[in-house]
C-alpha cells in the first residue's frame, strides 16, 4: 500500500494504491468526512483485484478547494483526471462508492459508460436530501484525540470511528483533515433528484443498505433496484450509514461475492 498524488488544475489530490498490477481495477470513493484509508481493511482482502482509493477534494491528504468548487462537476472531473493520469488503461473499472462517493460513482458512469464495468453503491439513493450545516461547528483543535471524539457527541455522533480516521496531530493539538467549513456547501450540491443519472447505465450494480441508515430508506433502495436493470440490493440488518464500519465481515463477503461473479 502506498500513498501517491496527482494534480487537477490547481489542486493536489491524494490516493492510496493497494497494488496489484495486471489485475482488474476497483476504485473506491469515500463519503463526506471520510478518506481513502477507510477502505484499507476491505482492500487488503481482495487478492484478485488492483484496488485504488481516492481522497476526494476537501478530504484526507487532498487539498481543500475554495467554496465555489465543490459542485457535482468538480468531483466528476477529479475522477476523470485520476483515471486519465493514474490508471491510463483502456479496461473498464469497477467503482465502489459510499454516500457522496456513491453518487459520484453513478454520475461518472452516466457520463462515461464505456469506462465503468460495474457499480457498488453503499447507502445512498437516487434522491438525496441531507444537511451537514453542523460541520462548521465541529471544533478546530482539541488537546487530545479523546476530546476531539467527545466534541462530535454534541452533534449526535456517538460512534466516532469513521470521523477519527481523518484526525491528525500537530504541535497545537488534534484536528480533522476534512474541509469542515465547506462540506455543507458540498452537501447542498449533492442534494437533488438524480434518477436520470442513476438509470443512464445498465452495467451490473449492487446497492448496499444499512437498515438503520438516516440517509436513505429501504423503500427508495427497493425502487432503485426495481427501476434499473442488472441491479440487486443487500440489506445489512445491524448497520447504519457506514456499512463497511458497522458490519465489516459481512460487507467484505457481499462485495467479494459480487466481484467474483463479474
Confidence of residue 89 (pLDDT cuts 50, 70, 90): confident
Residue 208 makes CB contacts below 8 A (sequence gap 6+) with 120, 121, 122, 123, 233, 234, 236, 243, 251, 254, 255
> Is the predicted pLDDT of residue 228 greater than 90, yes or no?
yes
Mean pLDDT of the chain: 96
Residue 133, Cβ neighbours under 10 Å: how many? 11
Q: Can you give the pLDDT at residue 108?
A: 98
Q: What percent of the chain has pLDDT over 70?
A: 100
Cell match 450540491: residue?
189
CATH code, residues 2-127+182-260: 3.40.50.1820
CA angle 249, 255, 258 (to 5 degrees): 140
Q: Can you give the pLDDT at residue 21?
A: 83
What's the average model confidence in pLDDT over 88-115? Answer: 95
The full set of domain ranges for the chain reads 2-127+182-260
> Is the predicted pLDDT of residue 88 greater than 80, yes or no?
no
pTM of the shown model: 0.97
Q: Using alpha carbons, list the distances in angstroms from residue 182 to 47, 140, 167, 178, 221.
A: 37, 14, 17, 9, 28
Q: Can you give the pLDDT at residue 90?
A: 81
What's the average model confidence in pLDDT over 143-169? Answer: 94
What's the average model confidence in pLDDT over 68-80? Answer: 98
Q: What percent of the chain has pLDDT over 90?
A: 95
Q: Can you give the pLDDT at residue 20?
A: 85
* Residues 178-227 pLDDT 10s: 999 999 999 999 999 999 999 999 999 999 999 999 999 999 999 999 99
Output phi, psi for 99, to 5 deg. 55, -115
Q: Can you give the pLDDT at residue 229?
A: 98
What's the average model confidence in pLDDT over 57-83? Answer: 98
Residue 15, Cβ neighbours under 10 Å: how many? 22
Residue 202 is classified by DSSP as -
Residue 181 is classified by DSSP as T
Output phi, psi for 128, to 5 deg. -125, 130
Amino acid at each position: 500500500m502506498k500513498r501517491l498524488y496527482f494534480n487537477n488544475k490547481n489542486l493536489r489530490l491524494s490516493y492510496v494504491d493497494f497494488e496489484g498490477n495486471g489485475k482488474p481495477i476497483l476504485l473506491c470513493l469515500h463519503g463526506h468526512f471520510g478518506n481513502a484509508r477507510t477502505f484499507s481493511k476491505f482492500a487488503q482482502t481482495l487478492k484478485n483485484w488492483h484496488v485504488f482509493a481516492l481522497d476526494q477534494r476537501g478530504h484526507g491528504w487532498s487539498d481543500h478547494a475554495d467554496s465555489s468548487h465543490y459542485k457535482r462537476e468538480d468531483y466528476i472531473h477529479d475522477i476523470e483526471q485520476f483515471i486519465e493520469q493514474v490508471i491510463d488503461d483502456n479496461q473498464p473499472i469497477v467503482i465502489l462508492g459510499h454516500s457522496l462517493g456513491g453518487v459520484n460513482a453513478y454520475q461518472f458512469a452516466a457520463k462515461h459508460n464505456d469506462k465503468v464495468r460495474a457499480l457498488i453503491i453503499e447507502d445512498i439513493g437516487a434522491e438525496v436530501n441531507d444537511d451537514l450545516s453542523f460541520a462548521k461547528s465541529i471544533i478546530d483543535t482539541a488537546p487530545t484525540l479523546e476530546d476531539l471524539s467527545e466534541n462530535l457527541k454534541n452533534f449526535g455522533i456517538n460512534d466516532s470511528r469513521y470521523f477519527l480516521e481523518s484526525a491528525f496531530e500537530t504541535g497545537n493539538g488534534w484536528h480533522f483533515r476534512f474541509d469542515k467549513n465547506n462540506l455543507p456547501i458540498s452537501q447542498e450540491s449533492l442534494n437533488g433528484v438524480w434518477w436520470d443519472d442513476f438509470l443512464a447505465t445498465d452495467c451490473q450494480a449492487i446497492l448496499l443498505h444499512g437498515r438503520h441508515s438516516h440517509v436513505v430508506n429501504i423503500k427508495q433502495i427497493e425502487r432503485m433496484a426495481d427501476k434499473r436493470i442488472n441491479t440487486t440490493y443487500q440489506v445489512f440488518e445491524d448497520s447504519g450509514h457506514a456499512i463497511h464500519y458497522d458490519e465489516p465481515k459481512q460487507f467484505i463477503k457481499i462485495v467479494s461475492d459480487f466481484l467474483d461473479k463479474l
